[in-house]
């Protein structure tokens, strides 16, 4: 019996030591109660958010990060407690409803712990504002916000209370964008903290129950075999000073009550001990039941909230709560609110970066950018719309003007990087020349030291320049990949459909070579349409015949008829408004005196030039070079603004056409043609997206090479 009791207390001691190892600057973990304060309604949560913001005082110090260490300690405790409970279940011991909840959902807790680690990059919370004083002094402000939300909801989180609390908090003190994005992570950490606190109580109760069960079992055995020795066992229990806790008294009473008259003696001793504190067995049992019910509610709410965190759209939450987002929506041209999420997020990250190097807050930086855009619109309403878009001052040429206005403090490295970006071509070519000369000079120096004559030195120099230039080029290209990071182009959000003013035609320049080839072209065109269906998106084959020594061949007309029938069949199958979706633009052969052959004029480039002329209604300027057959009603193509050109074997994945059009339609990407320079000086006249090789195409290419 003594050995069994000793093992129980050793387990409790180990549990306490594990909690002590977390080294968190809070109250001793074992004595911390669950995060359970006065329950607030939505209105009360809103008011509490304002009160909490008024109490929070920030510090500029960056103490050591303890949150991840605390998470590791919490995980160890939860794992230990669940292991203990699993053992109890296997031995057919009775466990509380809260324990059942913890065991049944432990897999979810482990998953959320992994998610918290994955979404908390090293050093991330070091950048978050920290509290100067209070119970959470030195910890991120947003973590204390998470603790308060959970405390006054008994572990339950819902979108309304959360949104109202954060919005009310920001009426007093604005949260940074990084803090808003950290809210789901901090809520996970706080919920796991709450589960650990309840789990510690469950473990302590389990130890007390095991202790009571052990004493009760020994007393029942002695009472059955040697009743007169029962007094000695009671004396042993009294000398061990068992905890008069709710679990101990409840379990001890449950095991002995209603047994033999001899076992009434230990219960009488328990009643006498409790009477000294003004308590009774009934009171402790009742209180214990209430605490068990409260623990069950806390665990069920916390687990339900962990599920909620995984299901909630945090992108929408951050944008709704962000004061920076609300400011940027005042973009004069209204383009910001129509952009996709990735582009808006890039603008917000640009504001974060500027604010870190300035005395201005993120909201103030956003306000300055909006003011610059409004000033450009007021100064010259007919000017280029780029300058009236807020993004011009965040990621484009207006960035220097915004940085000067908010007094950005740039480091030496940052200044060098800016100078390099402003003179990118000069830096690139200059680095290649310098490295080439350096390497060549080294070779000449070695040759001169070996006593090479002047003519040989000159030859070595020339050959060295040729050889080392390739080395220098490769080295500079490699360094460029390290120091120059690509930036995705901003784009409009056309996920719900391409607007009429951005009507687009997808064309596939190709050649009609044989009948099977035509069937494949029609089928592939249909696949592209099915993955990119839109009312303002049309598809066309841009064709001509293969080169020949005669203007017309016998199989020309059958192939053209088959292509025409295929396009007409697609229109009949998918067109519901009477307007053509699919088109065929076919050109005849023309005599090429240089190559002395009949062929399509300038092949692919000529087809695209003729198509542009047709769309711009300039057919008279290309007389004799335009299309001999057009299938489909081209009336709807009169206002086509963009043309997407695909090779015959190039696919168009789902909704990619909308993304391409959205990129071209963005104010910063729209081309601005300079009449004096006779070229596009800003924006893009042509965009070439990244093209990847599919496994199927790569395999086919390898097989062709092997067969060839």
Domain final residue pick, 483, 510, 533: 483
DSSP tag of 31: G
Q: Could you report the per-residue pLDDT of 74-93, keeping only the tens digit for each?
A: 999 899 889 888 988 888 88
Cα–Cα dist 488/346, whole Å: 9
pLDDT at 23: 40
Does residue 11 lie in a domain region? yes
Cα–Cα dist 195/187, whole Å: 12
- First vs last C-alpha separation in the chain: 85
- DSSP, collapsed to helix, strand or coil, labels residue 281 as helix
pLDDT at 381: 64
Q: Are 580 and 656 contained in the same domain?
A: yes
Q: Are 383 and 436 contained in the same domain?
A: no
Say what percent of the chain tops pLDDT 90: 40
pLDDT at 20: 44
- Selection from 484, 178, 489, 482 nearest residue 346 by Cα: 489
Give me the mean pLDDT over the 317-322 stretch. 94
- Given a cut of 50, whether residue 668 has pLDDT beyond it is yes
- Selection from 547, 633, 539 nearest residue 588 by Cα: 547
Task: Quickly state the pLDDT bin for 4 (edges 50, 70, 90).
Answer: very low
pLDDT at 304: 92
Query: How many other β-carbons are positioned within 10 Å of the β-carbon of residue 333?
Result: 17
Highest mean pLDDT among 418-422, 492-496, 684-688: 492-496
pLDDT at 372: 94
- Given a cut of 80, whether residue 319 has pLDDT beyond it is yes
Say if CB 362 and CB 411 are below 8 A apart: no
Give me the mean pLDDT over the 384-407 stretch. 90
Q: Could you report the per-residue pLDDT of 104-134, keeping only the tens digit for each?
A: 999 999 999 998 888 887 777 778 899 988 8
Say if CB 436 and CB 472 are below 8 A apart: yes
Cα–Cα dist 2/372, whole Å: 80
> Which backbone phi and psi does 86 adopt, to 5 degrees?
-60, -40
> Which backbone phi and psi does 493 adopt, to 5 degrees?
-95, 100
pLDDT at 333: 84
- Selection from 499, 498, 501 nearest residue 533 by Cα: 498
Scanning 454-595, the segments in alpha helix (DSSP H) are 454-483, 515-531, 556-574
Token look-up 């296997």 returns 90
- Given a cut of 50, whether residue 622 has pLDDT beyond it is no
Give the chain's length. 708
The CA-atom distances, in angstroms, between 500 and each of 254, 276, 497, 657 are 77, 86, 9, 14
Calculate ∠ Cα 582-588-589, nearest 5°.
140
Say if CB 210 and CB 91 are below 8 A apart: no
Domain final residue pick, 323, 350, 371: 323
- Selection from 660, 641, 684, 670 nearest residue 387 by Cα: 670
Range with the poorest average pLDDT among 307-311, 492-496, 570-574, 576-580: 576-580
- Given a cut of 60, whether residue 629 has pLDDT beyond it is yes
Calculate ∠ Cα 673-679-680, nearest 5°.
50
Cα–Cα dist 581/572, whole Å: 10
Task: Quickly state the pLDDT bin for 553 (edges 50, 70, 90).
Answer: confident
With a CB cutoff of 8 Å and minimum separation 6, the contacts of 516 are none
Q: Which residue has the higher pLDDT, 468 or 12?
A: 468
Report residue 400 as tokens: 């220097």
pLDDT at 18: 46
What DSSP string runs through 313-363? -HHHHHHHH-HHHHHHTT-TTS-GGGB-HHHHHHHHHHHHHHHHTSSS-HH
Range with the poorest average pLDDT among 49-58, 119-128, 180-189, 514-523: 119-128
Q: Could you report the per-residue pLDDT of 279-303, keeping only the tens digit for each?
A: 888 888 888 888 888 888 889 999 9
Q: Which residue has the higher pLDDT, 620 or 263?
A: 263
Q: Which residue has the higher pLDDT, 103 or 380?
A: 103
Q: Which residues pair with 538 in a beta bridge?
A: 505
Does residue 389 lie in a domain region? yes
Q: Are 289 and 147 contained in the same domain?
A: yes
Q: Are 133 and 252 contained in the same domain?
A: yes
Dihedral sign for Cα 410, 411, 414, 418, please.
positive
- Given a cut of 50, whether residue 19 has pLDDT beyond it is no
Q: Which residue has the higher pLDDT, 17 or 191?
A: 191
pLDDT at 679: 87
pLDDT at 475: 92
Q: Are 351 and 299 contained in the same domain?
A: no
Helix axes 177-225, 159-170, angle to 10 degrees: 130
pLDDT at 525: 94
- In total, how many domains does the chain have? 4
Say what percent of the chain tops pLDDT 70: 91
Cα–Cα dist 361/4, whole Å: 62
Q: Are 149 and 118 contained in the same domain?
A: yes
Highest mean pLDDT among 162-171, 244-253, 282-291: 162-171
Cα–Cα dist 243/5, whole Å: 12
Say if CB 584 and CB 632 are below 8 A apart: yes
Q: Could you report the per-residue pLDDT of 22-46, keeping only the tens digit for each?
A: 443 333 445 678 888 888 888 999 9
Cα–Cα dist 633/703, whole Å: 41
Say if CB 322 and CB 348 are below 8 A apart: yes
Q: Are 268 and 238 contained in the same domain?
A: yes
Range of the domain at 440: 421-483
Task: Quickly state the pLDDT bin for 696 (edges 50, 70, 90).
Answer: low
Cα–Cα dist 15/29, whole Å: 10
Does residue 110 lie in a domain region? yes
Cα–Cα dist 472/516, whole Å: 50
pLDDT at 620: 41
Q: Are 510 and 631 contained in the same domain?
A: yes
Query: How many other β-carbons are positioned within 10 Å of the β-carbon of residue 64?
Result: 9
Give me the mean pLDDT over the 140-156 stretch. 92
> Which backbone phi and psi does 582 adopt, to 5 degrees?
-115, 145
Does residue 516 lie in a domain region? yes
Cα–Cα dist 349/351, whole Å: 5
Task: Quickly state the pLDDT bin for 382 (edges 50, 70, 90).
Answer: low
- Given a cut of 50, whether residue 235 has pLDDT beyond it is yes
With a CB cutoff of 8 Å and minimum separation 6, the contacts of 349 are 177
With a CB cutoff of 8 Å and minimum separation 6, the contacts of 499 are 536
Q: Are 653 and 677 contained in the same domain?
A: yes
Does residue 341 lie in a domain region? yes
Cα–Cα dist 84/86, whole Å: 5
- Given a cut of 60, whether residue 177 has pLDDT beyond it is yes
pLDDT at 111: 92
Give me the mean pLDDT over the 253-279 stretch. 85
125-163 b/e with 16+ CB inside 10 Å = b? Answer: beebbbbeeeebebbbbbbbbbbbbbbbbbbbbeeebbb
Task: Quickly state the pLDDT bin for 167 (edges 50, 70, 90).
Answer: very high
pLDDT at 193: 92
Task: Quickly state the pLDDT bin for 363 (edges 50, 70, 90).
Answer: very high
Q: Could you report the per-residue pLDDT of 412-458, keeping only the tens digit for each?
A: 777 777 777 777 788 888 889 999 999 888 888 888 888 878 788 88
Report residue 648 as tokens: 């015959």
Q: Are 356 and 215 contained in the same domain?
A: no
Domain final residue pick, 275, 294, 323: 323
Give me the mean pLDDT over the 373-388 stretch. 81
pLDDT at 259: 80
Report residue 237 as tokens: 């229990």
Q: Are 202 and 64 contained in the same domain?
A: yes
Cα–Cα dist 93/214, whole Å: 12
Q: Which residue has the higher pLDDT, 198 or 66?
A: 198
Give me the mean pLDDT over the 343-354 stretch. 94
- Given a cut of 50, whether residue 148 has pLDDT beyond it is yes
Cα–Cα dist 38/570, whole Å: 66
Cα–Cα dist 57/668, whole Å: 41
Does residue 143 lie in a domain region? yes
Cα–Cα dist 671/664, whole Å: 9
Q: Which residues pair with 540 in a beta bridge?
A: 507, 583
Cα–Cα dist 393/373, whole Å: 8
pLDDT at 618: 58
pLDDT at 325: 95
Q: Are 343 and 310 contained in the same domain?
A: no
Does residue 488 lie in a domain region? no
- Given a cut of 90, whether residue 317 has pLDDT beyond it is yes
Range with the poorest average pLDDT among 64-68, 163-167, 477-481: 64-68
With a CB cutoff of 8 Å and minimum separation 6, the contacts of 7 are none
In the chain, what is the greatest distance between 2 CA atoms, to the nearest angstrom? 127
- Given a cut of 70, whether residue 13 has pLDDT beyond it is no
Does residue 517 lie in a domain region? yes
């Amino acid at each position: 019996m003594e050995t069994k009791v000793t093992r129980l207390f050793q387990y409790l001691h180990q549990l306490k030591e594990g909690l002590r190892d977390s080294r968190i600057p809070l109250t001793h973990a074992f004595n911390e109660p669950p995060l359970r304060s006065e329950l607030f309604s939505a209105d009360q949560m809103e008011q509490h958010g304002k009160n909490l913001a008024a109490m929070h005082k920030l510090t500029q110090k960056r103490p050591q990060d303890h949150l991840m260490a605390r998470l590791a300690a919490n995980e160890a405790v939860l794992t230990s407690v669940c292991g203990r409970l699993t053992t109890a279940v296997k031995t057919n011991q009775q466990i509380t409803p809260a324990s059942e909840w913890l065991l049944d959902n432990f897999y979810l807790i482990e998953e959320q712990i992994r998610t918290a680690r994955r979404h908390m990059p090293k050093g991330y919370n070091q950048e978050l504002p920290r509290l100067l004083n209070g119970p959470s002094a030195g910890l991120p402000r947003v973590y204390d916000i998470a603790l308060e939300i959970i405390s006054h909801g008994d572990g339950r989180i819902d979108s309304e209370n959360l949104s109202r609390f954060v919005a009310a908090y920001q009426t007093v003190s604005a949260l940074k964008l990084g803090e808003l994005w950290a809210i789901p992570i901090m809520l996970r950490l706080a919920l796991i903290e709450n589960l650990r606190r309840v789990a510690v109580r469950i473990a302590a109760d389990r130890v007390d129950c095991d202790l009571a069960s052990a004493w009760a079992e020994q007393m029942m055995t002695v009472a059955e075999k040697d009743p007169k020795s029962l007094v000695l066992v009671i004396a042993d229990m009294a000398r061990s000073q068992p905890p008069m806790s709710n679990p101990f008294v409840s379990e001890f009473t449950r095991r002995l009550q209603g047994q033999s008259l001899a076992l009434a003696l230990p219960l009488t001793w328990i009643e006498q001990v409790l009477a000294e504190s003004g308590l009774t067995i009934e009171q402790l049992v009742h209180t214990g039941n209430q605490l068990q019910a409260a623990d069950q509610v806390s665990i069920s709410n916390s687990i339900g909230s962990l599920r909620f965190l995984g299901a909630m759209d945090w992108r929408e939450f951050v944008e709704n709560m962000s004061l920076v987002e609300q400011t940027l929506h005042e973009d004069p041209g209204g383009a910001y609110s129509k952009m996709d999420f990735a582009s808006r997020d890039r603008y917000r990250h640009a504001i974060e970066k500027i604010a870190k190097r300035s005395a201005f807050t993120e909201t103030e930086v956003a306000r300055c950018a909006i003011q610059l855009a409004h000033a450009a619109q007021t100064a010259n309403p007919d000017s280029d719309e780029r300058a009236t878009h807020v993004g011009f001052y965040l990621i484009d040429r207006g960035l220097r003007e915004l940085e000067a206005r908010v007094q950005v403090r740039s480091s030496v490295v940052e200044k060098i990087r800016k100078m390099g970006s402003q003179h990118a071509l000069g830096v690139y070519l200059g680095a290649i020349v310098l490295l080439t000369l350096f390497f060549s000079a080294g070779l000449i120096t070695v040759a001169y030291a070996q006593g090479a004559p002047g003519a040989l030195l000159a030859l070595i120099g020339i050959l060295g320049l040729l050889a080392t230039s390739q080395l220098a080029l490769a080295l500079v290209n490699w360094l460029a990949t390290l120091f120059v990071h690509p930036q995705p182009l901003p784009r409009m959000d056309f996920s719900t459909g391409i607007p009429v003013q951005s009507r687009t035609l997808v064309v596939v320049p190709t050649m009609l070579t044989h009948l099977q080839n035509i069937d494949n072209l029609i089928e592939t065109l249909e696949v592209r349409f099915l993955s990119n269906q839109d009312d303002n998106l049309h598809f066309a084959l841009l064709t001509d015949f293969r080169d020949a020594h005669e203007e017309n061949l016998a199989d020309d007309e059958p192939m053209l008829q088959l292509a025409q029938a295929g396009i007409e069949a697609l229109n009949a199958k998918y067109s519901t408004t009477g307007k053509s979706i699919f088109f065929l633009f076919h050109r005849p052969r023309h005599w090429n005196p240089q190559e002395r052959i009949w062929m399509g004029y300038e092949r692919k480039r000529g087809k695209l030039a003729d198509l542009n002329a047709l769309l711009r209604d300039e057919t008279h300027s290309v007389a004799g070079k335009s299309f001999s057959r057009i299938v489909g009603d081209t009336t709807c193509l009169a206002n086509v603004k963009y043309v997407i050109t695909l090779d015959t074997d190039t696919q168009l994945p789902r909704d990619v056409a909308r993304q391409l059009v959205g990129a071209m339609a963005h104010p910063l990407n729209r081309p601005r043609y300079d009449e004096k320079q006779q070229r596009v000086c800003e924006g893009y006249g042509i965009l070439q997206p990244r093209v990847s090789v599919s496994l199927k195409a790569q395999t086919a290419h390898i097989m062709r090479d092997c067969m060839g």
